[in-house]
Amino acid sequence: MMILCGTTSKSLARDLSGRTGATLLEAEVRRFPDGECYVRFDRESVDKDVVIVGNTYTDGNLVEFILMHDAARGLGAEKIISVVPYFGYGRQDRRFLPGEALSAQVMLRHIALETDRLLTIDLHKPDILRWFTKPGAKDLTAAPAIGEHFAGKGIDLVLAPDKGAAQRAADVAHIIGCNSDHLMKTRISDIEVKITPSKLDAKGKNVLIVDDIISTGGTIVAASNELRRLGAHHVTAACTHGLFVGNALEKLKKACDGVVCANTLENEVSTISVASEVAKAL
C-alpha cells in the first residue's frame, strides 16, 4: 500500500506514512498560466492499493484531489481509499431555500465515482455519508487526539460553544478526566453569533473550548468572552478544522490564552495529528 498526497494535509500524510510504514508519494502539482491544475506522480507505477490524502477545500484543491485519483489509476492503482481530512462543502446538507444546490450530496456522489472507500474526519453532519454511493465510508473523530493532547495539562472543564458540539466536548473531557458542559449559541449572520448568558460555574477554572470548525472565529470569541465574564482563569480553544478565515487567528489569540487545532488543515497552530485515528481505520 502507498500513501499519495498533493499540496494539502501533507503533514498528516507524512505522519500516516511513518505510522503505517507505507511509502509516501507526493504529487508534483502546479498551475498552468491560465490557472488550471497539473498533477503528476513521477513514477512508472504505483501499488494496486493506494491511499490518497487530500482536501475538497478550496475549490482549487478539490480539482487537485480529483486529478490525483486519475493519475493514480493511470499508474495502476486498482483500489483507492480516499482520506479527506477536511471535507469542504459538508455544511450545505439541505436545500435551505428553494433553488439551492445540495452541495454535500453533489461532492459525495462525484467522489464516489473516483474512489472505492472514503474516510473523513469530524464531518459537521456525519449522516451526509449516506450520499456516498458505495459501501465503506466512515467518519472518524479527532476527539481522542485532542483529549490526549490536553491530558495532564490542568484542564478543569471542557466546553462546547453550542449544544450540537456537546458530545464532542464530552468525549474530549472523558479522555482528559474532567467535566464537560455547553453554552447556547444563536447564529445571527455568517460572521456574527450570540451566546446566551450562562450560569455555568467557570470561576477560577482552566477551560478548554472545543468545536469541530473554527471559521471566522466569531463563535469561539463569543464563547471566550462569556467565560471571562463568568470568571474563568484560563481559556484555551481547540478545534478539528482550523479554517481561520481572514484575521480569525489574530482575533482568537487576543480573546483566548491559547489556540490549537488538528492537522486536517495546515496552519501555524495545527499541531495535533489525527494520523493515529486514520491509521487505525486503514
Please choose, out of 139-147, 211-219, 254-262, 271-279, the segment that lies near ligand R5P by the rule CB under 6 A. Answer: 211-219
In the list 142, 155, 213, 274, the residue contacting ligand R5P (rule: CB under 6 A) is 213
Q: Of 64 and 211, which has the nearer Cβ to ligand R5P?
A: 211
Q: Of 39 and 158, which has the nearer Cβ to ligand R5P?
A: 158
What torsion, rounded to 10 degrees, do the Cα atoms 94, 186, 172, 146 define?
A: 80
Determine if 216 is a binding residue for ligand R5P (CB under 6 A). yes
Q: Is 159 exposed, middle or buried (0-12, 13-18, 19+ CB in 10 A)?
A: buried
Q: How far is the CB of 27 from ligand R5P (least distance, A)?
A: 29
Residue 55 zone, left/alpha/beta (φ > 0; ψ -120 to 50; rest): beta
CA distances from 264 to 42, 128, 165, 279 (A): 25, 19, 18, 14
Please state the φ and ψ torsions of residue 206, each to the nearest 5 degrees: -95, 110
Number of residues that bind ligand R5P (CB under 6 A): 13
Beta-strand pair 49-53/79-84: parallel
Distance between CA 42 and CA 165 in Å, rounded? 42
Distance between CA 123 and CA 240 in Å, rounded? 10
Q: Which three cell numbers stand for residue 172?
A: 474530549
Catalytic residue check, 205: no
Q: Of 126 and 164, which has the nearer Cβ to ligand R5P?
A: 164
Sign of the C-alpha dihedral computed for residues 109, 112, 117 and 120 taken in this order: negative
Q: Of 15 and 211, which has the nearer Cβ to ligand R5P?
A: 211
Q: Of 2 and 256, which has the nearer Cβ to ligand R5P?
A: 256
Determine if 139 is a binding residue for ligand R5P (CB under 6 A). no
In the list 15, 139, 211, 277, the residue contacting ligand R5P (rule: CB under 6 A) is 211
Determine if 219 is a binding residue for ligand R5P (CB under 6 A). yes
Helix axes 143-150 and 166-176, enclosed angle (nearest 10) = 40
Binding to ligand R5P by CB under 6 A, coded x per residue (else -) over 185-204, reads: --------x-----------
Pick from 213, 233, 211, 212: nearest CA to 223:
211
Determine if 269 is a binding residue for ligand R5P (CB under 6 A). no
In the list 183, 217, 262, 269, the residue contacting ligand R5P (rule: CB under 6 A) is 217
In the list 46, 129, 155, 165, the residue contacting ligand R5P (rule: CB under 6 A) is 165
Q: How far is the CB of 47 from ligand R5P (least distance, A)?
A: 37
Q: Which amino acid is at 10?
A: K
Q: Of 81 and 165, which has the nearer Cβ to ligand R5P?
A: 165
Single out the catalytic residue among 185, 253, 254, 280.
185
Active site residues: 185
List contacts with ligand R5P (CB under 6 A).
Answer: 161, 164-165, 193, 211-219
